[in-house]
């Protein structure tokens, strides 16, 4: 059934009935505003991220359920990058009146499930008609007063760290663009693949479709005061490191031999004749945390469970040059590239 | 110059430099989240409203400056309808890379000026490319704990009130659709108009382009505990009264002879051969406040300065029927109509 058959207000009631009644908010969906009682003595974090059909995603390569998860996940990652705890979300959806209601159901199921994994309740939003599908999430989080980790605190001499391994999201996108699909937890490929490559493709596509917001890692770093500056890797390591350096008034040099590349990403990149390093540096959407710290590397490594890799990849330097990459052969090159919405 | 010529990150810097540095927020535009310190002991209000090109506005009838004012104003009106004080805004913009940078400049000038009139600072947001222009504002406000006025508190026997006069926004839209334009504070019309009609057209177009959020009136009603339920008139009196009644589990009867119709709206409606009452009941976008109260009418009227009209238009009734209108001739009809995004 199409949305136009039930209209705006029945659709709002349908969405409201799909979501658990919020027990954290004083007032959820269905009024002029949502009402939330802030935790005493906490600072409030506010972020919003927009996904546009044909620009930030294509319906051919992502199901509405995964789109919902991703729309929530990219916002969760922004709260993680401040060291905060997410709390509540508003959802804005622009969709064609001719779209199927089941699409909306699946989208909100993804939003709800991804939010619930991190204690986030959906408490409001807005709907409008549009020929271009667009979904925007605004997330409210909290952090101990003065403890929010910004992009601007990096100082020369500190080390640059990242959580996890890079390149998987970009490798997954490459596989999707080559016609691979994830259906019922199985990979369908329009070409012959070995079992090991099939598994690698599956892992990278899952990573592309569902970011893993590093909420717990961000909390650990913020509460201990480890990170002097932090950002999540959404546009790509090269681009996001440049953002952090610009805000901090510093530069940086990272080492190729230190960059942890995801194994599955390497396998997929090689299959498609691409450089794994390029995917790691410029691919974007890995949603790992990049942070700077003056702490002893052993102390930082000891803060995380074995399952979470943290890697020092280079050093913060005085301002005055572009961020640079030291190649394995010792050659130093400028770090460039990354995603720009208006220059594709 | 086009947006694609400068790219996403220069555009963000440009927007940031156009806005005053927020002195209320701990951290504004340029990080993963904005950071706000909530006022101790207040409840938080959160609302978001989306305007889509071709659905909620057309660039032919609204300048980017007025679009910015309106996008902020409709959100301010939602905070007013809870009895709250607005505080900070996040702006989400989806726009073509081929759009002119000056369009963005003017849009944010409108957002900034309308926000500043009510003490609102722009502290964050997001940008994406899109063939369909879309602007979404998320507004954060505050209200004394437990004092937020919801849609659900109306009780049978109470009177139904509205602020101001109705129909002007719909009349202004009619004039715009007929080819009238507001340029440099002057009305241009593609037909002969008298001076008095020209003035009426100007007033109604201004009202359509720039809602007047009833922040002060909403505060007065909430702080004194006058209003048992409240909603702002965005979809039209008929539709918004039905929303309030549904949330409150009641019905309502209003009287045609009590509905205050804007004088300029009447003049414009009559010129275009339309019913002023229809504009008042179903036009929408007047952004006046509709509230219910058991207070003595004289006490309510005495709370407002002479410049602000408040009018009792009918009574809350037991649930069990649709909302109804008592005509001047005593005939009682069902109140229907109003805006639905997915059923135009």
ipTM of the complex: 0.94
> Vertex B104, ends B75 and B79: CA angle to 5°?
10
B152 interaction partners in chain A (CB closer than 8 Å): 31
Are residues A164 and A83 located together in one domain of the fold? no
Question: Does residue B68 sit in the same domain as residue B214?
Answer: no
B231 contacts chain A (CB < 8 A):
yes
What's the token pair of residue B129?
């490319």
A300 within domain boundaries:
yes
The pLDDT value given to residue B24: 87
Q: Report the alpha-carbon distance of residue A40 to residue A37 in Å, rounded.
A: 9
Domain final position from A92, A118, A143: A143
Q: Is A134 on the interface with B (CB under 8 A)?
A: yes
Which residues in chain A land under pLDDT 50? none
Whether residue B102 is found in the same domain as residue B170: no
- Cβ A92–B50 below 8 Å, yes or no? yes
Contact assignment for B48 to A126 by CB distance below 8 Å: yes
B33 vs A11, A51, A78: nearest CB: A78
User: Which residue, B143, B178, B207, sits at the end of a domain?
Assistant: B143
Residues A138 and A168 reside in one and the same domain? no
- B142 and B45 in contact (C-beta within 8 Å)? yes
The CA distance from A191 to A204, in Å, is 17
Residue B190: φ, ψ to 5°:
-85, 20
Instruction: Please answer yes or no on whether A9 and B340 come within 8 Å at the CB atom.
Output: yes
CATH number where B239 lies: 3.90.650.10
* Domain boundaries, position A314: 159-334
| Residue keyed to tokens 């409210």 | A140
For residue B39, what pLDDT is reported? 92
Rounded CA separation A69/A51 (Å): 12
Strand partners, B186: B183
Please answer yes or no on whether A52 and B130 come within 8 Å at the CB atom.
yes
DSSP state of B256: G
- Same domain assignment for residues A178 and A139: no
Q: Lowest-pLDDT range, B62-66, B216-220, B295-299, B338-342?
A: B338-342
Closest residue on chain B to A52 (Cα): B130
Total domains in the fold of chain A: 2
Distance CA A27, CA A17 (A): 15
Judge if B203 and B282 occupy the same domain: yes
Determine contact: B58 vs chain A, CB below 8 A.
no
Q: Does B321 or A282 have the greater pLDDT score?
A: A282
Q: Which residues pair with B141 in a beta bridge?
A: B45, B86
C-alpha A196/C-alpha B165 separation (Å) is 70
Q: Is B16 in CB contact (< 8 Å) with chain A?
A: no
For residue A155, what is the DSSP state? -
**Is A88 part of the contact surface with chain B (CB cutoff 8 Å)?**
yes
Q: Calculate how close chain B gets to A288, using CA atoms only, in Å.
A: 13
**Would you call B263 exposed, middle or buried from its count of C-beta atoms within 10 A (0-12, 13-18, 19+)?**
middle
Q: Name the 3-class secondary structure at A73.
A: helix
Q: What is the pLDDT of residue A87?
A: 97
- Let me know if residue A149 belongs to a domain: no
Residues A312 and A195 in one domain: yes
Strand partners, B126: B92
Is there a domain that residue A249 lies in?
Answer: yes
Residues of chain B found within 8 Å of residue A46, distances taken between Cβ atoms: 33-36, 88, 90, 123-124, 138, 140
- Summarised one tens digit per residue, pLDDT across range A45-102 is 999 999 999 999 999 999 999 999 999 999 999 999 999 999 999 999 999 999 999 9
In this complex, is the C-beta atom of B240 within 8 Å of any C-beta atom belonging to chain A? no
Please indicate if any CB of chain B lies within 8 Å of the CB of A8: yes
Residue B343, Cβ density class (10 Å: 0-12 exposed, 13-18 middle, ≥19 buried) = middle
Eight-state DSSP code of residue A157: T
| Single residue among B143, B169, B192 that ends a domain in this structure | B143
A110 and A184 inside one domain: no
Contact A34 B54 (CB under 8 A): no
3-state secondary structure of A217: helix
Residue A339 lies in a domain: no
Q: Is residue B82 assigned to a domain?
A: yes
The CATH number that applies at residue B87 is: 3.30.1330.10
In which order are the strands placed within the sheet that holds A250-255? Answer: A229-232, A289-293, A159-163, A310-318, A250-255, A324-326, A332-334
Q: Do A123 and B46 touch (CB under 8 A)?
A: yes
Q: What is the pTM of this model?
A: 0.95
Give the confidence band of B344 by pLDDT, cuts at 50, 70, 90. low
Residue in chain A lying closest to B246 (CA) = A30
Q: Does A152 fall in a domain?
A: no
Q: Which residues of A touch B230 (CB under 8 A)?
A: 32
Residue with tokens 């382009």: B209
pLDDT over 80 at B223, yes or no: yes
Structure confidence by residue, pLDDT tens digits, B189-206: 999 999 999 999 999 999
Distance from CA of B81 to the nearest CA of A (A): 7
Average pLDDT over residues B46-72: 95
Q: How many inter-chain contacts (A to B, CB under 8 Å) are there?
A: 240
B226 shares its domain with B132: no
CA-CA distance, B279 to B261, in Å (whole number)?
9
User: For residue range A113-140, what is the model confidence (pLDDT) as tens digits?
Assistant: 999 999 999 999 999 999 999 999 999 9
Is residue B342 assigned to a domain?
Answer: no
Interchain CB contact of B90 with A (< 8 Å):
yes
- B309 falls within a domain: yes
Query: B296 CA to chain A: closest CA distance, Å?
Result: 26
Whether B219 and B104 share a structural domain: no
Regarding whether A326 and A196 lie in a shared domain, the answer is: yes
Q: Are residues B66 and B205 in the same domain?
A: no
Are the C-beta atoms of residues B59 and B133 closer than 8 Å to each other? Answer: yes
């Amino acid at each position: 059934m199409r949305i136009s058959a039930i209209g705006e207000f029945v659709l709002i009631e349908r969405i409201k009935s799909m979501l658990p009644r919020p027990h954290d908010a004083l007032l959820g969906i269905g009024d002029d505003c949502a009402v939330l009682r802030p935790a005493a003595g906490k600072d409030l974090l506010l972020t919003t991220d927009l996904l546009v059909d044909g620009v930030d995603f294509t319906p051919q390569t992502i199901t509405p359920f995964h789109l919902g998860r991703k729309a929530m996940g990219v916002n969760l990652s922004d709260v993680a990058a401040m060291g905060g705890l997410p709390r509540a979300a508003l959802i804005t959806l622009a969709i064609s009146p001719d779209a199927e209601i089941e699409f909306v159901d699946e989208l909100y199921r993804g939003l709800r499930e991804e939010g619930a994994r991190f204690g986030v309740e959906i408490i409001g939003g807005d709907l409008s008609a549009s020929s271009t599908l667009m979904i925007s999430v605004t997330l409210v989080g909290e952090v101990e007063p003065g403890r929010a980790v910004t992009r601007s605190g990096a100082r020369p001499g500190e080390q640059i760290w990242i959580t996890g391994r890079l390149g998987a999201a970009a490798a997954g996108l490459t596989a999707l663009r080559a016609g691979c699909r994830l259906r019922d937890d199985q990979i369908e490929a329009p070409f012959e693949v070995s079992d090991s490559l099939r598994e690698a493709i599956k892992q990278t596509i899952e990573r592309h479709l569902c970011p893993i917001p590093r909420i717990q890692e961000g909390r650990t770093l913020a509460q201990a005061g480890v990170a002097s500056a932090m950002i999540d890797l959404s546009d790509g390591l090269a681009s996001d490191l440049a953002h952090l350096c610009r805000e901090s008034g510093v530069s940086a040099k990272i080492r190729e031999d230190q960059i942890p590349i995801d194994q599955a990403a390497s396998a997929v990149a090689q299959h498609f004749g691409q450089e794994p390093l390029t995917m790691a540096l410029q691919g974007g959407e890995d949603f790992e945390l990049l942070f700077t710290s003056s702490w002893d590397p052993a102390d930082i490594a000891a803060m995380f469970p074995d399952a979470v890799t943290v890697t020092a990849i280079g050093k913060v330097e005085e301002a005055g040059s572009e961020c640079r990459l030291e190649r394995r052969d010792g050659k130093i090159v400028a770090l460039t590239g990354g995603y720009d919405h208006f220059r594709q």
